[in-house]
Amino acid sequence: MDTAEEGRIYKCLFTGSVSSLLTLPLDMLSTENLLADCLQGCFVVTCTLCAFISLVWLREQIVHGGAPIWLEHAAPPFNAAGHHQNEAPAGGNGAENVAADQPANPPAENAVVGENPDAQDDQAEEEEEDNEEEDDAGVEDAADANNGAQDDMNWNALEWDRAAEELTWERMLGLDGSLVFLEHVFWVVSLNTLFILVFAFCPYHIGHFSLVGLGFEEHVQASHFEGLITTIVGYILLAITLIICHGLATLVKFHRSRRLLGVCYIVVKVSLLVVVEIGVFPLICGWWLDICSLEMFDATLKDRELSFQSAPGTTMFLHWLVGMVYVFYFASFILLLREVLRPGVLWFLRNLNDPDFNPVQEMIHLPIYRHLRRFILSVIVFGSIVLLMLWLPIRIIKSVLPNFLPYNVMLYSDAPVSELSLELLLLQVVLPALLEQGHTRQWLKGLVRAWTVTAGYLLDLHSYLLGDQEENENSANQQVNNNQHARNNNAIPVVGEGLHAAHQAILQQGGPVGFQPYRRPLNFPLRIFLLIVFMCITLLIASLICLTLPVFAGRWLMSFWTGTAKIHELYTAACGLYVCWLTIRAVTVMVAWMPQGRRVIFQKVKEWSLMIMKTLIVAVLLAGVVPLLLGLLFELVIVAPLRVPLDQTPLFYPWQDWALGVLHAKIIAAITLMGPQWWLKTVIEQVYANGIRNIDLHYIVRKLAAPVISVLLLSLCVPYVIASGVVPLLGVTAEMQNLVHRRIYPFLLMVVVLMAILSFQVRQFKRLYEHIKNDKYLVGQRLVNYERKSGKQGSSPPPPQSSQE
């Protein structure tokens, strides 16, 4: 009921009418649309809880990471932007920082691309001087911060423990006979209502009135996302208002109001940046990918517009998902490049593996214009890569192979093989088998390394791309000797040496963190330009191969099975990709075995043949029979009773049932592994631990395949025998026989579920009974030793007793 009330309060606030507000008390007691209101209330409560946790986490980030300089001192946010610009070279991650430092480096033999430690020291001294000048302005804020920290430290753990002991599930649900749970319900409803008012109602209406005043209401309504866009506009206007109020409070020296407005601005700013980074940017990438690939599927922008008009939410979600996958794999490829290239080559990209990298701290401290510049640069880079690797290869393929495109991705509802089964099979079997293999990543890393070595020697950029380890070691040793010589000349006193001196020596010895020196050849900018051109050509060729070779191989192999019939390209692409992967894997294995001799090769082939035979048997049982039986059982229990009327005969497609059974088997296996310990979990864990190379066929068949197949066969056969063999002997009518035959599977499932629920409730009530009895009547318990010998029984202490009244 609490969630239903939240849903009705939410609808009342956003209806915008006085009548809904007046009838709110009666609506909260109504039973109409109870399920829908409960679901909406659950969503609202979940959003409230997640937002509250995010606010607490953001507070911890501000407390531990430090607030921005403009918040700690009296400078307004728009003046702090210039201060950030002055301190930007100390960051070393942005493209603008290195671009500013790069021209200052002369074309010497060894050059380091990155930040300058001396500049950092000067910057630190300037910041210290600024802090000393602004100490007087921040005395009150420092006192407030100290008081807040002191309040955080002066908490009593015993009081929290006592409160946690008093707050039990029985008291929260009212099972202990008290009415404390009504107070909890009242506070939950009140806090959620206040949260909806502050964080949803006010921004929405601010944005709504602003859009109506500017005349953009019709355009927003045509977007099919009026509520979301209006709320975001309201938050943007609220952020601008907070900046202005913060500046006014700074001018009139209202320190407490200035700090409160600054913290509110940080919350709104971080929230908007998170929406842009996680929501808007992947959505832009997804739509750009779709637009650039229209010719590959023989589609037009009109088709995408019609699909958006028919299902705007689904269309936007799918494009966001595609863009998110693209961003994820792009970031994964950049991480792989960092493992191959010299540290410092990718200076214009942020290192996600850097332990000092904290995107939330950057959102808090960096000004808005820098985030906007990064966003525009990211859109340009990602969009250019899509043009290079998708749009341009498609144009080349259409001109060179006019009959190859478009891909056949039409969905036929009357096809015996459902495309839903195809996508499930691809996502659950093919792609995990490819992506979970470490060999694929190693192959890609080896290709990148080979390309880098080739490009480095062709363009004389080997030192720039991969670095020179010997030169690095010599320069490091020479720098250590210079530091030691300088220390001896300066005659540092012994008192000053210690941990601090050791840290300073390490920092001076290592140089800039994350960068290595390199040899700079002649005509360096021209060589970098040729390197970029070579990289673009390589990416274009790789994209052409990936778009054509797997589909060619898949179409050729599937033609032996289906003939000239058109097949969904996901079938052909998945089949060709898997065959190409198996071929490359076999070639690499044979190349690795060649130096070991003919006898070792024959022995390895024998071992692998035996292992492949065992794997095929296990695959037939666990990946063939079990999913087929599971999918057929799901079809009989859930799908057929819901979709097929009693006067019609259901049709079963084994291929579709098997594909759905694969999905169900994976879900059941995952739930089993996450659940409590029982025999099935133990067996699955043992099979996973053994792996393919140490596969135990006898153990799998005896402990896993046979019990699971037996249970599934009994679940399928027993109801059928009852409906087809026992019921006709009772002399019932044909209609009753048909009813029993069609509904016996869900009926028996309901009986089993009810028995499981009853047994669980009986166990719970027994535990509750024992708990209440022990609370009321148990005085104490005593632990005694247990003696087996009869001679010591007389001298042994009495057994444990529990005195009851």
Q: DSSP characters for 475-526?
A: HHHHHHHHHHHHHHHHT--GGG-SHHHHHHHHHHHH-STT---EE--TTHHH
- On the 0-12 / 13-18 / 19+ scale of CB atoms within 10 A, 261 is buried
83 contacts 75 by C-beta, under 8 angstroms: yes
Task: Check pLDDT > 70 for residue 375.
Answer: yes
798 vs 542: which has the higher pLDDT: 542
Tell me what pLDDT residue 181 has. 64
Tell me what pLDDT residue 117 has. 37
ω into 406 cis (within 30 of 0)? yes
pLDDT tens, 161-204? 444 445 555 555 555 555 666 776 777 777 777 887 888 888 88
Query: How many angstroms separate the most distant Cα atoms in the chain?
Result: 112
pLDDT band for position 320 (50/70/90)? very high
| Phi, psi of 804, rounded to the nearest 5 degrees | -125, 150
Tell me what pLDDT residue 387 has. 94
Helix axes 281-292, 368-386, angle to 10 degrees: 20
Helices (H), 16-156: 18-22, 24-28, 34-65, 69-72, 77-86, 95-101, 117-133, 139-153
Task: Check pLDDT > 80 for residue 697.
Answer: yes
b/e map 711-747, b = 16+ CB within 10 Å: ebeebbeebeeebeeebeeeeeeeeeeeebbbbbbbe
Both structure tokens of 251: 């001018």
Tell me what pLDDT residue 138 has. 45
b/e map 457-477, b = 16+ CB within 10 Å: eebebbbbbbbbeebbeeeee
Tokens 């679940």 belong to residue: 715
Task: Check pLDDT > 50 for residue 755.
Answer: yes
Task: Check pLDDT > 90 for residue 584.
Answer: no
Task: Check pLDDT > 80 for residue 411.
Answer: no
Tell me what pLDDT residue 434 has. 56
Tell me what pLDDT residue 134 has. 42
Average pLDDT, the chain: 75
Tell me what pLDDT residue 444 has. 87
- Please state the rounded mean pLDDT for residues 284-295: 93
| Dihedral Cα 316, 322, 328, 334, nearest 10 deg | -120
* Residue whose C-alpha is closest to residue 662's, from 380, 316, 429: 429
Distance separating alpha carbons of residues 261 and 133, to the nearest angstrom: 24
- Report the range of poorest mean pLDDT among 65-74, 296-305, 420-429: 420-429
Tell me what pLDDT residue 273 has. 93
- Please state the rounded mean pLDDT for residues 734-755: 89
Tell me what pLDDT residue 738 has. 87
Tell me what pLDDT residue 586 has. 81
Sketch the domain layout of the chain as residue ranges: 599-774
pTM: 0.65
Tokens 């998945």 belong to residue: 574
Tell me what pLDDT residue 30 has. 61
Helices (H), 368-468: 368-386, 392-400, 419-425, 431-435, 438-459, 462-466
Tell me what pLDDT residue 214 has. 86
3-state secondary structure (DSSP) of residue 652: coil
pLDDT band for position 61 (50/70/90)? confident
pLDDT band for position 93 (50/70/90)? very low
Task: Check pLDDT > 90 for residue 530.
Answer: yes
- Report the range of poorest mean pLDDT among 378-382, 593-597, 651-655, 662-666: 593-597
pLDDT band for position 20 (50/70/90)? low
Of 23-32, 165-174, 265-274, where does the model show the most confidence?
A: 265-274
Task: Check pLDDT > 60 for residue 213.
Answer: yes
DSSP tag of 645: -
Tell me what pLDDT residue 166 has. 55
* Residue whose C-alpha is closest to residue 451's, from 465, 440, 439, 438: 465
